[in-house]
Structure 1
Amino acid sequence: MQKARSLRRSMVSVLIAFACAAPHWAEAQSDPSVASATNADWAEVKEIMDRRCVVCHSCYDAPCQLKLTSPAGLLRGASKQAVYHSQRLEDAPLTRLGVDAQSLPQWRALGFHSVTQNVETDPSLLERYLNLGRLNPMPENAPVPAALDLTTDRPLACPTPDEFDAYRDSNPLAGMPYATAPLEDHAHQTLVAWARSGAPLPSDPPNVPDDIQAQITEWEAFLNGKNMRPQLMSRYIYEHLFLARLHFQGDDPRRFFQLVRSTTPPGEKIGIIATRRPFDAPGVNPFYYRLQQIDETIVHKEHLVYEIGPDRMARFQTLFLDPGWTLATAPPYGDAEGGNPFSTFASMPARSRYQFLLDDALFFVRSFIRGPVCHGQTAVDVIEDRFWVSFLDPDADLSITDPAFLQDGAVHLELPVSGVDGGALGDLQGFSHANQVRYLEFRDARYRDSAAHTEGFDYDAIWDGDGTNPNALITVFRHFDNAAAMTGFHGDIPETAWVIDYPIFERIYYDLVAGFDVFGRVEHQLSTRLYMDELRMESEDTFLSFMPKAARQQIHKKWYQGTLAEIHTYWHHRHVDASFPTGIGFETSTPKQEFLLTLLARGNGLWSVSDPINRCADADCSQSQTQLALRALANQRGDWVRYLPDLSVLVVEDSGGAADVFSLAHDKAHTNVAFLFDEAARRDPETDVLTILPGLAGSYPNFFFKVRQDELTAFVQDLKAVGSQSDFMEVVANHGVRRTSPEFWPLSDRIHEIFIQRNPVHAGILDLNRYKDPKSADDPT
């Protein structure tokens, strides 16, 4: 048994280097079209790679760090070193593509080996993996063989060219694409021909039109001001936009830039300054902020779009330079400063900083859950599967209206990153807990002395987007180990809701984005998670302050069910404040619902008041036949819900061949989300529901369903009749698309084309690493 388990791990382990595929070995050796097509066009090769390879090889969790989103990633190759390693005691070497090494010798020194280079008479690893997949294709439209592990944390072997033959003999199913239907013949032939011709890659950078280059020149001049005030503004902007895909107003919807720090001034070739975090010292003086064009394939899970142009520059001028603030000396760099942005940027008006975040609140909330963090249940199990977010209005936030609030309170607002380099894990947990307790005591005291404690918060204390900005209301979805966010309130009334003020917003950003290091050791990973636990509870507590005093304890108790959860909230000094008044005269016995629906009604058309599928009054509901049929599934409890994956995509075709796409989000219920481990023990599957959203809601679909319009009613009925895993397998057989189905790749392509067509700026390639393989098992979890 142990030997079999070891063999399975080793087989699955690396199944790696290239997520592309092929039909049969004999054809690869004898097909004349393969042998003669030695000058495959790079554009055609790239299109195949984007659709068949990048879907699995595009982030830090790409098998063997083989990132195939750019020529640089292909040249860099693969590594045996895993980025995600939750038990490591030392920081891992930084291996950010385009940042931490600039030449092949440097990447080889960091342990990467080639996948494109032929070794003497042996083909490249790329071709050998393709041939292995061709020799042993997956059984068509059948479950993936049991030897192949599909978990994201499977062990990986990552053989070098010298090790591949032995690896192939031990792992005959390790060909590419891993555990899916094979490539189409033409795609296979094109890739093999390109590999045999030496895998030629373009070397010229993409062209930038003259009008866009002129705007780049203006922006680089704006961001590299000579005085300390504009320099501090640029530092703040860089620390918040270093992950952004900058898109110029009106430009090609697929052209993006990145804000970087460079050793070279505008007009010269960019010399990237590689630091672990954006608030680390640049190491050279002077340095320059530059806009670098992104030449990678756009992948949705990393695609954080931030629009720039003349209007944005004018907005920055209004927010940061027009107010009359002064700066005597420039603040230093380093972990201590990054651990406390409130002291680093204390000279800049807090209102300007908060408004900067509010202007693009969806971008910043998405930055918490997208970007380089592509793997991690423990990062998102701190949140419920669906909740609604609103923001404290600047005029109701003491950190904005009272200059002394942040001056006096900044000492309590340090983040864990400021102390992560010293001490043990217990010290870090104590740091996080003690600092937060002191801050909450400070915050409560200040609000008790304010007018708000006399009058209470009313609806005006919630930011309404100033009548023009839809970012004021946001829905967050969790899909087990990843998440998604969108403007507006979607789904039925959620169990929990957050109200975020400026200190919460800034700390979440510096905890999860600016201060988070995916290469960090266990102390850093856990301290980040523990601190986020504190910030979630603080956001929930702020929401509770709007509820009637008598209802707060009851609502809170429902969020934290169980003795351990009650102990947890007690240890964290979480008490429901019954002294703070509410300024709202509630008219119903369901204040949470009344409050949230009233926020929706204030939108002046910025967002839909009703949800046509999940939550609506009959008069407001869409009469689309598809949506009417799906309404029978939405927000319904039943045993059938638990069998669905976290996130499914449903494609509905009409008689003319046109398609609608919907996301089926499995909202898993929990008794609480108060603990780091053993989530299964806190699940409450009897109260799970399904939220159905038009379009694509996440980056990591777990399964595709495809039905014709005239089959939709049968699909709904079949799904609601599921009472066992065997029943669900029948739904999969009748309406699902397996990894091994001949429809898998064509449907993946079609979904991507619909995405690009409907949202060309924000669309990106979806990640299929988490695509499920339903099995006939009794345990649906």
Structure 2
Amino acid sequence: MRKGLLPLKVAIVMAVASIGVFTLDARAQETTSPVAQGQSLVDVKSIMDRRCVVCHSCYDAPCQLKLTSPAGVQRGASKQAVYHTERLSDAQPTRLGVDAQTVPEWRALGFHTVTRDPNEAESPGLLDRYLELGRQNPMPANAPLPSELGLALDRPLVCPTSGEFDQFSRDHALAGMPYGTAPLADAEYQALMAWARSGTALPSVATDIPAEIQDQITQWEAFLNSNDPRSQLMSRYLYEHLFLARLNFQGDDARRFFQLVRSTTAPGEAINIIATRRPFDDPGAGVFYYRLQQVTETIVHKEHLVYSMGPDRMARYRQLFLDPDWTLTELPPYGDAEGGNPFSTYMQMPAKSRYQFLLDDALFFVRSFIRGPVCHGATAVDVIEDRFWVSFLDPDADLSVTDPSFLQDGAVYLELPVSEADAGALGALPGFSHKNQVRYLEFRDARYKQAPIYETGFDYGSIWDGDGSNPNALITVFRHFDNASAMTGFHGGIPETAWVLDFPVFERIYYDLVAGYDVFGRVEHQLTTRLYMNELRMESEDTFLFFMPRDVRSQMHQGWYQGVLAEWLTYWHRRHVDGHFPTGITFATTTPKQEFLLTLLERGNGLWPTTDPINRCAEGGCPADQSGILLRDLADQTGDWVKYLPDLSVLVVEQDGGATELFTLAHDKAHSNVAFLFEEKARRLPAEDKVTILPGLIGSYPNFYFHVGQDQMAPFISALKSVRSQSDYMVLVAEYGVRRTSPEFWALSDRIYEMFLDQKPIQAGVFDLNRYKDPKAGDDPT
């Protein structure tokens, strides 16, 4: 440990060892059922959230053992992997709380128990056996993990049953829990073991709903279940877009959330969820109801998509969907074909209302592309650059909104791959998205050439400015290899690429990656989803190019698609840079991309900072605090040292006065192109990599923690910039890093989460540590 931090670190570790537990949510209800030594079940739940849920949550939980709720513990584990890139037929969905409701039903789906039978006290369960195995074989402190322990997400998992565990423990003596990290504190271990041996169920995080919130729920369920046909179609549209949302009522507890579900039971009765693969699938012949169900799981950041509710929201829905004059003769049918083309399904609803609905909460929907039904956006993110800026075509400049005939005539070309989910063989994969997309682009080009905008070109007024009050109008997306994150405003240096989304692109990305994506689907579905997203990225880039001077568009596009194969791909997709469509902007500099993007920041009545104090410092907008000033020496810089950093690092700075600062270091990896699914490493340009540094926390999967005192900031930065080899990086890690095996690891993780919860109580969630790195001497930094 470094001298400047020694007293603080020792105090933290001793506090953890002596207290042993942390209350994850102070509002959780206490219980009078002690487990052992005065530990309550709430304490045990808190330990599980901090030490177990950090790896066992959502679909990427090892062995599908999801420990975010009592129901997940009771469901147990499975040998079947959710993520399977070679699956030739759809798998049985195993969504907790949806696809089965009882333990016998889960056993019938192949899940095996991990708890001990309270009637057989002498027979240990898997949980306590895993904990005991970890206790018997602790990891060496502050050292790389033994080579036999793998951390790759696609590593083969054994997932033993109780009868298989003895042999498993002999073959894998180091696979105890917590996996590949520092051991639990004594008090934590004793509390978990006492609970595991007791066979007692954990408490849920459900809380009593105040009367005023229950009144709002009653009003919302009445609103969503109106018998008026227009209201019914509106409710269906809302459900298909909000089925993943964590709904939080304005003025309610910051940690209480609800979910919109379809139920066979009416408001006032117990909810009985209708289980369908996708939100647009047929709910059945019987009457069904939209209901608001309280979320009773631990809040995990990687799947936490917050959407606010309240009287203002209901008034907005009325304004968008019910006040306009439109008619509906009959409700559209359900199914893949209809769900695969929302433009035809919702043709009767005003396009402007649907587009404005997406724009109102654009950040929520962009985040849903990332966190969506797969928890991490693996399907989406390998088709995007590591950082890019997103803006939106103004509704008044979008022909699909202003010209009613545009979607009436063009909807046939806007079918998504899911509309042919049961058609064709694997060999027909490449044709669907390519064929429809080419036809749509031809249709779109022809319609815009006939419109007045083709005479004048798009100008700054053609970009939505948030109506002077909505910060969702500008968004930065960061890719972190196999996951991503997004935030409002433009962050970092000027990016290589930028997107402009119109209504057809925005809606198709949502239905491709979220509403229409089935994580349990076969390889054909997964690949068509990926290929179609490739098309939508290119379309978004093309729209951005329409704002650039005509004479720089081709050169700019070629810079995004370097290499013979990338050039061939754009030719095969009939992508051509339109050199005739005029721009309505008169540029004053020789750097039009930078000029255009920075000008967008000056619109919106101060909704976003016009500068980035650390990464893009302008006169008068530079950081005033010491840490920010020092970090400017790293931000938006190239150098040999950059490639050694993981995708997402958290820098914890202990200030001299006792306060703590958090910064996120995002590694922006450069590529010759992102046009292909495979061989990404061959398209990497590590010499062009940069680091974007952000105050606070972004992302859901921290890869590494650096922990320094304020007086160590300058030496840390100097040492980082001096890294020229993996050996150099290992020295940096030893001096300033916090390894998985460090005695400081769990205590620091807890502090970071507590700060997150304090700073963003509604948005915060438990981070996933499955991707936390274990630097080794032989690692390839690229």
- CA distance in structure 1 between the partners assigned to 2:595 and 2:177 by the alignment: 53
Q: How do residues 21-420 of structure 1 correspond to structure 2 at under 5 angstroms?
A: 37=36, 40-118=39-117, 121-202=122-203, 206-375=207-376, 377-420=378-421
CA distance in 2, matches of 1:368, 1:168: 39
Residues in 2 aligned to 1:372 and 1:40: alpha-carbon distance in whole angstroms: 36
- The correspondence of residues 310-709 of structure 1 with structure 2, limited to 5 A, is 310-375=311-376, 377-709=378-710
Q: CA deviation at 1:653?
A: 0.5
How many Å separate the matches in 1 of 2:591 and 2:65? Answer: 52
Shift of 1:459: 0.3
Partner Cα separation in structure 2 for residue 363 and residue 540 of structure 1: 21
CA distance in 2, matches of 1:273, 1:501: 33
CA distance in 1, matches of 2:598, 2:633: 22
Give the Cα–Cα distance (whole angstroms) in 2 for the partners of residues 519 and 223 of structure 1. Answer: 29
Are the aligned partners of 2:393 and 2:500 in contact in 1 as well (CA < 8 Å)? Answer: yes
Distance 2:214 2:309 in 1: 13
Q: Distance in 1 between matches of 2:526 and 2:107?
A: 28
Contact 1:707–1:735 (8 Å) recurs in 2: yes
Deviations 1:126-165 (A, max 9, x none): 1101100000000011000100000011110100001111
Gapped regions of structure 1 (runs ≥ 5): 1-21, 24-34
SS at match of 1:537: helix
Q: Conserved in 1, the CA contact under 8 Å of 2:116 and 2:123?
A: no
Q: Structure 1 residue 622: deviation in Å?
A: 2.0
Amino acid across the alignment from 1:437 = V
Deviations 1:361-413 (CA, angstroms, capped at 9, x unpaired)? 00000000013313564531100000000000000000000000000000000
Q: Cα deviation per residue 1:483-538 (whole Å; 9 max; x = unaligned)?
A: 00000000000000000000000000000000000000000000000000000000
Residues 263 and 284 in structure 1, CA contact (< 8 A), matched pair in contact too: no
Letter in 1 for 2:59: Y
* CA deviations over 1:560-602 (Å, ceiling 9, x no partner): 0011110000001100001100000011111000000000111
Aligned length: 749
Q: Deviations over 1:616-652 (max 9, x none)?
A: 2132112111000000000010000000000000000
Answer yes or no: is the 8 Å Cα contact 1:39–1:197 preserved in 2: no
SS in 1 for 2:663: strand
- Does the aligned pair in 2 maintain the 1:220–1:289 contact within 8 Å? yes
The C-alpha deviation readout for 1:748-771, integer Å capped at 9, x for no partner, is: 000000000000000000000000
Contact 1:387 1:476 (C-alpha < 8 Å) held by counterparts? yes
d(CA) in 2 for partners of 1:320, 1:460 = 25
SS at match of 1:226: coil
Offset at 1:169? 1.0
Could you say if the C-alpha distance between residues 778 and 222 of structure 1 is closer, same or farther in structure 2, counting changes exceeding 3 Å?
Answer: closer
What is the distance in 1 between the residues matched to 2:35 and 2:314? 53
1:121 maps to a residue whose letter is E
Read off the aligned partner of 2:462 and give its amino acid letter. A
Question: How far has the Cα of 1:203 moved from its partner?
Answer: 7.3
The alignment partner of 2:641 has SS state of helix
Give the drift of 1:204.
9.7
Distance 1:617 1:375, change over 3 A: closer
Which amino acid in structure 2 is aligned with residue 666 of structure 1? H
Q: What corresponds to 2:735 in structure 1?
A: 734
How far, CA to CA, are the matches of 2:231 and 2:717 in structure 1?
A: 58
- SS in structure 2 opposite 1:612? coil
CA RMSD of aligned residues (A): 1.4
Q: Could you say what secondary structure the match of 1:47 adopts?
A: helix
Distance in 2 (alpha carbons) for counterparts of 1:360 and 1:691: 25
CA distance in 2, matches of 1:99, 1:329: 30
Q: Distance in 1 between matches of 2:376 and 2:520?
A: 12
Instruction: Decide whether the 8 Å contact of 1:386 with 1:478 is kept in 2.
Output: yes
Is the 8 Å Cα contact of residues 457 and 582 (structure 1) preserved in structure 2? yes
2:205–2:296 CA contact under 8 A, matched in 1: no
Q: For the residues of structure 1 that align with 2:206 and 2:752, how far apart are their CA atoms?
A: 29
Whole-Å separation in 1 of the counterparts to 2:463 and 2:568: 31
Q: CA deviation at 1:201?
A: 3.0
Report SS of the residue matched to 1:619.
Answer: coil
In structure 2, the residue corresponding to 1:292 is in which secondary structure?
strand
Give the Cα–Cα distance (whole angstroms) in 1 for the partners of residues 204 and 177 of structure 2: 27
Q: Using structure 1 for the length normalisation, give the TM-score.
A: 0.95
Contact (CA 8 Å) 1:301, 1:699: kept in 2 or not? yes
Q: Give, as a single letter, the amino acid of the residue that structure 1 aligns with 2:417.
A: P
Q: Check conservation: 1:336, 1:418, Cα contact below 8 A.
A: yes
Taking the aligned partners of 2:35 and 2:484, their CA distance within structure 1 comes to: 46
- Contact 1:378–1:676 (Cα < 8 Å) also in 2: no
> How far, CA to CA, are the matches of 2:179 and 2:277 in structure 1?
33
Partner secondary structure for residue 740 of structure 1: coil
Three-state SS of the structure 1 residue aligned to 2:418 is helix
Contact kept, 8 Å, 2:35 with 2:198, in 1: the verdict is no
Assess if the C-alpha contact under 8 Å between 1:76 and 1:114 holds in 2: yes
Q: Which moved more, 1:71-80 or 1:205-214?
A: 205-214
d(CA) in 1 for partners of 2:109, 2:207: 28
Indicate conservation of the 8 Å contact 1:38/1:196, yes or no.
Answer: no
CA distance in 1, matches of 2:690, 2:171: 44
CA–CA separation in structure 1 for the residues paired with 2:427 and 2:538:
21
What letter corresponds to residue 499 of structure 1 in structure 2?
V
Partners of 2:92 and 2:295 in 1: how far apart? 24
Q: Say if 1:303 and 1:371, in contact at 8 Å, map to a contact too.
A: no
Query: What letter corresponds to residue 575 of structure 2 in structure 1?
Result: R
The alignment-based identity, stated in percent, is 72
1:318-347 deviation line (CA, Å, top 9, x unaligned):
000000100000000000000000000001
Preserved contact between residue 38 and residue 194 of structure 1 (Cα < 8 Å): no
Shift of 1:711: 0.2
TM-score (norm 2): 0.95
TM-superposed deviation, 1:680: 0.2
Q: Secondary structure at the match of 1:390?
A: strand
The answer (yes or no) to whether the contact 2:417–2:528 under 8 Å persists in 1 is yes
One-letter amino acid of the counterpart of residue 105, structure 1: P
> In 2, are the aligned partners of 1:39 and 1:194 still within 8 Å (CA)?
no
- Structure 1 distance, partners of 2:579, 2:304, is 42
Structure 2 Cα separation of the partners of residues 396 and 616 of structure 1: 33
| Structure 1 residues 708 and 526: alpha-carbon distance in aligned structure 2, compared to 1, 3 A threshold | same
Structure 1 residue matching 2:486: 3-state secondary structure: strand
